[in-house]
């Protein structure tokens, strides 16, 4: 009988939709790319709290404030599930934070844009959470078990976030001329960065080939981006806003919307740390880490004391 290599057995499991679990053999590159993607995803959730947190004290009424607080807390929770999933692969949480704080690990480009008005909070829910779900639904079926299981709950919460964002924009769309203008301005600023969230084009994506083979990713960056555009155009119509792309039009032959050329220079500039808020975001995270040192220390002492008591 032919002997199978560990790599062949691993690939067969992936091909047969059997989840890979933490203690099983996996190629080093699979482990590495999962740590990279999951930790960057976790960092995105945590940094993603900053632009929204900025509006908690200024939400227009109590209901909106409660919803926003709950949403920001959800994002913290998503970060924690994801850090835990990454830890199962043999990296510590401190190492992941270190990578974020030193700029070695990326986080989503989208969170380097400012939230200038209340409408930006709705636009984040509608467009940013909308793009996030479009990308993340496939991750519920990703080949690595702990990541897939974390994503099930995250997607449920993200889809609620998307709907609350849309509902809050719908309220603005029925409001005064000023409110409608604020809504349009937010959509004008968030549309292109949301399209960019899906990452570079398939031709430029360095990780996709391996990630698709290993079923970490199941759909390409460009396919997901197209699905997002197709789904969003009708929603914009209902809101009564225009999308800031003169080339956006239905293509009967393709059965999809065509859209304009993405400004990839802007995307890479933001990814490399030169976006409007990169420095501000990183300073806020490093400050929170430094100022939280006493909490971590106190928690460790408390845990040690409890352990001693139990023993």
Exactly one of 109, 142, 143, 226 binds ligand FAQ (CB under 6 A); that residue is 109
Residues 6+ apart with CB under 8 A from 59: 65, 68, 118, 121
Tell me if 65 contacts ligand FAQ by CB under 6 A: no
Tell me if 48 contacts ligand FAQ by CB under 6 A: yes
Tell me if 45 contacts ligand FAQ by CB under 6 A: yes
What tokens appear for 163 in the block?
Answer: 């709907």
Exactly one of 19, 36, 163, 218 binds ligand FAQ (CB under 6 A); that residue is 36
How many residues in the shown chain lie near ligand FAQ by CB under 6 A?
A: 30
Nearer to ligand FAQ, 120 or 129 (CB): 129
Tell me if 124 contacts ligand FAQ by CB under 6 A: yes
Site for ligand FAQ in 209-228 (CB under 6 A): 211, 217, 221
Tell me if 128 contacts ligand FAQ by CB under 6 A: yes
Q: How open is the CA angle 298-47-300, to the nearest 5 degrees?
A: 15
Bridge partners (DSSP) of residue 258 are 249
Nearer to ligand FAQ, 93 or 180 (CB): 93
Residue by residue, DSSP assigns 1-51 as: -PPPPHHHHHHHHHHTTPPB-TTS---HHHHHHHHHHHHHHHHHHHHTHHH
Least distance from ligand FAQ to the Cβ atom of residue 197, Å = 5
Tell me if 100 contacts ligand FAQ by CB under 6 A: no
Using the contact rule CB under 6 A, the part of the chain among 93-101, 130-138, 249-257, 288-296 near ligand FAQ is 130-138
CB 121 within 8 A of CB 187: no
Residue by residue, DSSP assigns 116-179 as: -SHHHHHHIIIIIIHHHHHHHTGGGG-SBHHHHHHHHHHHHHHHHHHHHHHHHHHHHHTS-HHH
For residue 292, which of 36, 76, 72 has the smallest C-alpha distance?
A: 76
Q: Is the CA virtual torsion 163, 164, 167, 168 positive or negative?
A: negative
Exactly one of 208, 219, 226, 278 binds ligand FAQ (CB under 6 A); that residue is 208
What tokens appear for 236 in the block?
Answer: 């914009």
Tell me if 200 contacts ligand FAQ by CB under 6 A: yes
Tell me if 207 contacts ligand FAQ by CB under 6 A: yes
Interface map 169-198 toward ligand FAQ (x if CB under 6 A): ----------------------------xx
Tell me if 206 contacts ligand FAQ by CB under 6 A: yes
Distance of alpha carbon 220 from alpha carbon 201, whole angstroms: 9
Tell me if 135 contacts ligand FAQ by CB under 6 A: yes
Distance of alpha carbon 88 from alpha carbon 249, whole angstroms: 45
Distance of alpha carbon 181 from alpha carbon 173, whole angstroms: 9
Distance of alpha carbon 282 from alpha carbon 284, whole angstroms: 5
Tell me if 129 contacts ligand FAQ by CB under 6 A: yes
25 CB neighbour count, 10 Å cutoff: 11
Least distance from ligand FAQ to the Cβ atom of residue 260, Å = 18
Using the contact rule CB under 6 A, the part of the chain among 15-23, 42-50, 86-94, 277-285 near ligand FAQ is 42-50
User: Could you list the residues that contact ligand FAQ (CB under 6 A)?
Assistant: 36-37, 40-41, 44-45, 48, 52, 75, 106, 108-109, 124, 128-129, 132, 135-136, 197-200, 205-208, 211, 217, 221, 271
């Amino acid at each position: 009988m032919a002997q199978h290599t560990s790599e062949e057995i691993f690939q067969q499991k992936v091909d047969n939709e059997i989840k890979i679990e933490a203690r099983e053999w996996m190629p080093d590159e699979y482990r590495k790319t999962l740590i990279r993607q999951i930790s960057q995803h976790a960092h995105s959730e945590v940094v993603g709290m900053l632009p929204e947190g900025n509006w908690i004290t200024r939400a227009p009424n109590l209901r909106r404030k409660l919803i926003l607080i709950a949403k920001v807390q959800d994002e913290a929770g998503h970060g924690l599930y994801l850090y835990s999933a990454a830890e199962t692969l043999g990296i510590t949480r401190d190492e992941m934070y270190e990578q974020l704080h030193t700029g070695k690990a990326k986080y989503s480009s989208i969170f380097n844009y400012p939230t200038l008005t209340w409408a930006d909070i709705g636009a984040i829910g509608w467009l940013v959470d909308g793009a996030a779900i479009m990308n993340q639904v496939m991750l519920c079926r990703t080949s690595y078990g702990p990541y897939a299981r974390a994503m099930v709950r995250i997607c449920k919460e993200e889809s609620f976030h998307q709907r609350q964002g849309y509902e809050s924009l719908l309220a603005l769309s029925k409001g005064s001329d000023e409110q409608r203008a604020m809504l349009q301005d937010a959509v004008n600023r968030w549309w292109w960065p949301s399209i960019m969230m899906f990452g570079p084009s398939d031709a430029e994506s360095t990780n996709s080939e391996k990630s698709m083979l290993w079923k970490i990713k199941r759909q390409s960056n460009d396919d997901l981006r197209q699905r997002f555009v197709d789904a969003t155009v009708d929603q914009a119509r209902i809101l009564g806003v225009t999308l800031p792309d003169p080339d956006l039009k239905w293509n009967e032959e393709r059965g999809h919307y065509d859209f304009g050329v993405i400004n990839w220079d802007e995307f890479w500039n933001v990814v490399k740390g030169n976006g409007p808020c990169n420095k501000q975001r990183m300073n806020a995270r490093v400050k929170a880490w430094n100022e939280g040192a006493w909490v971590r220390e106190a928690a460790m002492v408390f845990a040690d004391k409890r352990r001693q008591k139990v023993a």
